[in-house]
Chain A
């Protein structure tokens, strides 16, 4: 079963008087429970591709399918609903809501989803324990380390068990030990919950965890390697 399918995606940005091709006729297919790393130098198009898959950005042409549904023609509201229910995002800069505690950050998305309060509470406590943050539920982002914040961000992304997790440079601000712990968590989720991961990175150690490595350059896929994950 296909989790993500991109067909002939093109996206061009205007920078000054120059046109930058961020995506240049990209075709991609990611199977359900896949673990894919997108690797590219800066400006190579990996974040643009990730944004297109997540419905955050609309391609100039081509098609984007997520879980069997074409999403590039959906309205803002429909895209928001897809992101809310089917996609989890992990960002490089954690991007937690600073005024909410770790547990509230995790619960917030569930509240938007309409999950009952008691259910929210138990799920958020369980997921925070799962990512190793038991006892830190009441801390606000500013009171946590980068690694802890990223774990909260991961907990927030996966608490609703989305079919697809998109992570953009998730380890960029983490030390090597924390990076490894995070990637092991991703692998565990991938193995035990069949969550599909698409990770944009240029961290070699992150790439080593991927089952599949896709290299991009100037908006094009230049290499697609199946590999045995670490």
Chain B
């Protein structure tokens, strides 16, 4: 081993307790960072999955402009056929055609404006969690049945229950007047009041008849096996879009920009806290190295007299810090990784979380997502912070003069 590395390593252990305390601070903060970042990324994945799988899906095929200004006439022609082709070619069952319209929904006593969706009962459960949230009755099973599923708040507002009939009034794809009667066969409770108050779903065939869709729909919704493979499926799905139709494929980021912004805002606040932690560790390292440099002033004077330049001595101090930082990095990543691994299998929860999560159709436990990034991002930042904090003690050596240094006790 190079003598300089040997020297740097042995210098660290001159005051083993001090070095261990500093490494301990690094290990603690690194382990904490690994676990927190892994948990955070796991929660984001869960947030994204739950938000997107609730209704929006990972991707949607739409007519151009429909996303920003939804109009009845902006449709995907032969949407069910396109969905079937995609299911077959992508070998993915979680693809469904869906239509949407605004309608006035009337019971015997009251009327409310709602957004009504035409869904394919066979495939909608694969692209939306809403069918699984039906608390009373059942979800439609026949694509042509004159049935409707509404939210619990809407049912209360309309004063209807299972078996009651509701009248739909709206505008068709061609702008003509649309009207129909449907029987309430299911009432869902998503936990999100806005959804429970303003959304209703009917079978796609029934929707097609009522709103004169002529086999078209407003979107083909795609849910992929995970966020990591979206890009792959996106490329393959785009290649399968019919060339003669003017269609676009939006991913979840475009469909739900607020979600990404919310995650980014959360990342910013979390990383501010992590930054404070890193700064505290950096100051601890600076303190250690500054003390180490000050108490070795005489020795530094000697080696300068032997011909070492201040730059070399500075590099020695940086090397010592690097070794300490690397020990902290790997031990911290190891400890943090083991903690994260345990929670990856057992989940992370706290008292009261079950009830809160159940209200939002979320699992009662969060599972950290351990990747190389989550394992080493925090420790790497702590490592860089430590090196930067050692720059000041190292730079002090540039002003050291051998004669004065050798006089130091």
| A interface list, Cβ under 8 A from B | 51, 54, 56-57, 76-77, 80-85, 87, 89, 91, 95, 97-100, 104, 107-109, 111-113, 156
Question: What is the CB-to-nearest-CB distance from A53 to chain B, in angstroms, rounded to a whole number?
Answer: 12
Instruction: For the complex, give the distance between the alpha carbons of A56 and B310 in Å.
Output: 13
Contact A107 B3 (CB under 8 A): yes
Q: Of residues 1 to 27 in B, which have CB atoms within 8 Å of A's CB atoms?
A: 2-4, 6-7, 10-11, 13-14
Contact of B309 among A57, A76, A98 (CB under 8 A): A76
Residues of A within 8 A of B302 (CB): 91, 95, 97
For chain B, what secondary structure do more than half of its interface residues adopt (helix, strand, loop), or is it mixed? helix
B303 in the interface (beta carbon within 8 A): yes
Contact B307 A80 (CB under 8 A): yes
Q: Contacts A97-B7, A99-B7 known; A80 to B309 CB distance under 8 Å? A: yes
Contact B307 A84 (CB under 8 A): yes
Residues of A within 8 A of B6 (CB): 100, 104
Determine the residue in chain B with the shortest Cβ distance to A87: B307
Determine the residue in chain A with the shortest Cβ distance to B307: A84
Instruction: For the complex, give the distance between the alpha carbons of A51 and B404 in Å.
Output: 11
Residues of B within 8 A of A83 (CB): 305-307
Determine the residue in chain B with the shortest Cβ distance to A108: B3
Residues of A within 8 A of B3 (CB): 100, 104, 107-108, 111
Instruction: For the complex, give the distance between the alpha carbons of A101 and B13 in Å.
Output: 15
Instruction: For the complex, give the distance between the alpha carbons of A111 and B312 in Å.
Output: 12
Determine the residue in chain B with the shortest Cβ distance to A110: B3
Question: What is the CB-to-nearest-CB distance from B13 to chain A, in angstroms, rounded to a whole number?
Answer: 8
Determine the residue in chain B with the shortest Cβ distance to A85: B307
The number of inter-chain residue pairs (CB within 8 angstroms) is: 68
Q: Of residues 130 to 162 in B, which have CB atoms within 8 Å of A's CB atoms?
A: none
Q: Contacts A56-B403, A57-B403 known; A99 to B11 CB distance under 8 Å? A: yes
Residues of B within 8 A of A156 (CB): 306
Question: What is the CB-to-nearest-CB distance from A12 to chain B, in angstroms, rounded to a whole number?
Answer: 14
Question: What is the CB-to-nearest-CB distance from B66 to chain A, in angstroms, rounded to a whole number?
Answer: 69
A-B contacts, 19 listed (Cβ < 8 Å): A51-B403, A56-B402, A76-B310, A80-B309, A81-B307, A87-B307, A91-B305, A95-B298, A95-B299, A97-B299, A97-B303, A99-B13, A100-B7, A100-B10, A104-B6, A107-B3, A109-B306, A112-B306, A112-B308
Return the 6 tightest CB-CB contacts between A and B, nearest first: A84-B307, A99-B10, A83-B307, A95-B302, A57-B403, A56-B402
Determine the residue in chain A with the shortest Cβ distance to B11: A99
B301-338 interface mask toward A, CB cutoff 8 Å, 1 = contact, 0 = none?
A: 01111111111100000000000000000000000000
Residues of B within 8 A of A54 (CB): 305
Contact of B14 among A57, A99, A108 (CB under 8 A): A99
Contact A80 B304 (CB under 8 A): yes
Question: What is the CB-to-nearest-CB distance from A104 to chain B, in angstroms, rounded to a whole number?
Answer: 6
Instruction: For the complex, give the distance between the alpha carbons of A66 and B187 in Å.
Output: 99
Contact B308 A80 (CB under 8 A): yes
Instruction: For the complex, give the distance between the alpha carbons of A5 and B298 in Å.
Output: 28
Residues of A within 8 A of B402 (CB): 56-57
Question: What is the CB-to-nearest-CB distance from A100 to chain B, in angstroms, rounded to a whole number?
Answer: 6
Residues of B within 8 A of A80 (CB): 304, 307-309
Determine the residue in chain B with the shortest Cβ distance to A160: B307
Residues of B within 8 A of A113 (CB): 307
Question: What is the CB-to-nearest-CB distance from B394 to chain A, in angstroms, rounded to a whole number?
Answer: 15
Other 6 A-B pairs with CB < 8 A, given A84-B306, A112-B312: A80-B307, A85-B307, A95-B299, A97-B299, A98-B299, A109-B307
Residues of B within 8 A of A91 (CB): 302, 305, 406
Question: What is the CB-to-nearest-CB distance from B292 to chain A, in angstroms, rounded to a whole number?
Answer: 12
Residues of A within 8 A of B7 (CB): 97, 99-100, 104, 108
